Amino acid sequence: MSRIVLGVTGGIAAYKAVDLASRLRQQDHAVDVVLTRAAEAFVTPLSFSAVTGRPAYRDEDLWQGGESILHVELAHAAELVVIAPATADFIARAAHGLADSLLGSLLLSTRCPIIWAPAMESAMWQHPATRENVGRLQAVGQRVLPPGEGHLASGRQGIGRMPQPDEILVAVEEALRTPLLSHVRVLVTAGPTREYIDPVRFLSNPSTGRMGIAVAEAARSWGAAVTLVLGPTEVPAPGGVQVVGVTSSAEMFQAVEAELEHTDVLVATAAVADLRPARQFDHKVKKDELPNALELERTDDILAYAGAHRRPGQILVGFAAETDDPEVEARRKLQQKNCDLVVGNDVRQEGAGFGVNTNVCTFVTAHGAWQVGPASKREIGEEIMAFVAQRLGR
């Protein structure tokens, strides 16, 4: 349980902050809500105190009289401050150190981590003044979550929606956690591979690499040193991790082989092509000259190689994307590839598989199996890291 200050500023998304406060409370946090005057036009302190079981504060409370000074008390007790929603106006005030509200004074007084969940119209978010103000907050180590895209209060579509409570909760967890995996080296394979027939044709699959990218992000947030071996994808690689871009399964194999010796944990999420053309042409083959059947050969199994050459203490995690029984298949792969954990999923199930942001998984180890999800790919990444931390006795 941690003591969290939830600052609510005056935007239409303020009503969503009530849900956020409730969910923080459900996670056993003690939540002190502080509203700005503008926020009170949208929600009342009572809405918050009803879900947090604690008083919610407003500017009038700044000088209550008596011994204690409220903003200093709250600032010192807080282990984390979350501002949701954060308006352009309040971001500007905080970026310039204004202390003309209870929340503004509290932000200047606290030394705990601060997370911002901005919500505003796209034009305001993109305005150079806001960009500069956000940059100021980031420069002093505060975390500004990117707003979401979609329907805005004006009726327009665009960037500026308050990040989803789920995303904010993940950020809260990250901020509160002491990095359990610091000094642990995690290697993640992700994305598809391309097996070229000639310079303009290849065999591949629809993997986007999202699952592996989410695992890499989760590992980084647990304090690990992360290397991501990433096949061709449009999805941007995360910051703060070392990215090795590869194209074919042979390149991915080489990249992993080179890293394995320095790896404590391998998480193989890549959808490696199982077959490649036996012959590759170095020029574009004219269609009239294309054969009716391609002669194919097997690619090397990267995870199986790692399993056969694993060092004592090294942890191996595989995935099994299936259309049949994922648990049975995951168990088979666990044994065949000598892994500690295989995450099986049924790619035909709704909210699972290629290209989507969620997954429903069965975690299979030598000792048992359990279901994880439906959950975001990031949450599944977090669960994998929890398993790894436990295995490492952290």
Active site residues: 205
The single residue among 24, 302, 316, 372 that binds ligand CTP, judged by CB under 6 A, is 302
Report, in angstroms and rounded to the nearest whole number, the Rg of the chain calculated over CA atoms. Answer: 25
Does the footprint of ligand CTP cover residue 320 (CB under 6 A)? yes
Q: DSSP readout, 268-302?
A: E--B--SEEESS--SSPPPGGGS-SS--EEEPP-H
CB of 30 to ligand CTP, least distance (A): 41
Q: Kindly state the smallest distance separating residue 296's Cβ from ligand CTP, in Å.
A: 13
**Distance, CA of 186 to CA of 120 (rounded, Å):** 37
Classified as helix, coil or strand, 342 is: strand
CB of 267 closer than 8 Å to CB of 317? yes
**Restricting to residues 104-163, which ones interact with ligand CTP according to CB under 6 A?**
none
With the C-alpha atoms ordered 67, 71, 72, 77, is the resulting torsion angle positive or negative?
positive
Amino acid at 236: P
**Smallest separation (angstroms) from ligand CTP to the CB of 291:** 24
The verdict on 89 binding ligand CTP (CB under 6 A) reads no
Beta-carbon count within 10 A of 332 CB: 14
Q: Which residues contact 350 (CB under 8 A, 6 or more apart)?
A: none
Rounded CA gap, 215 and 195, in Å? Answer: 25
Q: CB neighbours (10 Å) of residue 173?
A: 14
333 touching ligand CTP, by CB under 6 A: yes
Q: Give the nearer residue to ligand CTP in terms of CB position, either 39 or 214.
A: 214
Nearer to ligand CTP, 95 or 219 (CB): 219
Nearer to ligand CTP, 42 or 319 (CB): 319
Q: Does 181 bind ligand CTP (CB under 6 A)?
A: no
Residue (113 or 209) nearer to ligand CTP, CB:
209
**H or E element at residue 56:** strand 56-57
Q: Shortest approach of ligand CTP to residue 79 CB, angstroms?
A: 37
Total residues binding ligand CTP (CB under 6 A): 16
Question: What phi and psi values does residue 312 have, to the nearest 5 degrees?
Answer: -60, 135
266 binds ligand CTP (CB under 6 A): no
Nearer to ligand CTP, 299 or 362 (CB): 299
Residue span binding ligand CTP (CB under 6 A) among the ranges 58-66, 223-231, 301-309, 385-393: 301-309
Stretch that binds ligand CTP, among 115-123, 139-147, 171-179, 314-322 (CB under 6 A): 314-322
Smallest gap from Cβ 189 to ligand CTP, in A, equals: 6
**Per CB under 6 A, 303 contacts ligand CTP:** yes
Three-state DSSP class for residue 38: coil
Q: How far apart are CA 337 and CA 182, in angstroms?
A: 27
Apex CA 303: angle with CA 300 and CA 305, to 5°? 60
Q: Which of 171, 226, 210 is nearest to 23 (CA)?
A: 171
To ligand CTP, the closest distance from the beta carbon of 1 in angstroms equals 37
251 binds ligand CTP (CB under 6 A): no
The residue within the footprint of ligand CTP, chosen from 259, 264, 301, 327 (CB under 6 A), is 301
Residue 298: CB minimum distance to ligand CTP, A:
8
> Does 270 sit near ligand CTP (CB under 6 A)?
yes
Q: Does 57 bind ligand CTP (CB under 6 A)?
A: no
φ/ψ of 92, rounded to 5, equals -60, -45
Is 207 one of the binding residues for ligand CTP (CB under 6 A)? no
Interacting residue with ligand CTP among 148, 167, 274, 277 (CB under 6 A): 274
Q: Which stretch binds ligand CTP (CB under 6 A): 148-156, 315-323, 347-355, 365-373?
A: 315-323
Q: Counting contacts by CB under 6 A, is residue 352 touching ligand CTP?
A: no
The separation between the first and the last C-alpha atoms of the chain, rounded to the nearest angstrom, is 19
Give yes or no for residue 319 binding ligand CTP (CB under 6 A).
yes
Nearest one of 255, 243, 254, 234 to 192, comparing CA atoms? 234
Rounded CA gap, 345 and 171, in Å?
Answer: 26
In degrees rounded to 5, what are phi and psi of residue 348? -85, -15
**Structure-token pair, residue 234:** 């449009």
**Which positions lie near ligand CTP, rule CB under 6 A?**
189, 249, 268-270, 272, 274, 299, 301-303, 318-321, 333
